[in-house]
Amino acid sequence: MESKTNDLLNLIKSRRSVRNFVYKKIDNQTIKEIVDCGRWAPSARNSQPWKLCIVSHPTVKRMIAENSKYGAIIESAYLNFVVFLDLERGYDRVKDILAIGAFIQNMLLAVHAKGLGAVWIGEILKNKEKVSEIFKLSPEKYELMGVLTVGLINESLEKKEERERRVLDEFTDWF
Give per-residue pLDDT as tens, 44-82. Answer: 999 999 999 999 999 999 999 999 999 999 999 999 999
Over residues 156-175, the mean pLDDT reads: 86
Q: Give the pLDDT confidence score for residue 157 in this predicted structure.
A: 85
Asked if pLDDT for residue 162 goes beyond 90, the answer is no
**Segment 109-118, tens digit of pLDDT:** 999 999 999 9
Architecture, CATH, for domain 21-154: 3-Layer(aba) Sandwich (3.40)
Q: Give the pLDDT confidence score for residue 40 in this predicted structure.
A: 98
Quote the CA–CA distance of 107 and 88 in Å, as a whole number: 22
Q: Give the pLDDT confidence score for residue 3 in this predicted structure.
A: 82
Give the chain's count of helices (H) and strands (E).
7, 5
Which residue would you say has higher pLDDT here, 155 or 8?
A: 8
Q: Give the pLDDT confidence score for residue 155 in this predicted structure.
A: 84
Residue 156 CB neighbour total at 10 angstroms: 7
160 burial (CB, 10 Å; 0-12 / 13-18 / 19+) is exposed
Quote the CA–CA distance of 175 and 173 in Å, as a whole number: 7
**CA distances from residue 44 to 38, 94, 107, 127 in whole angstroms, order as listed:** 15, 10, 19, 27
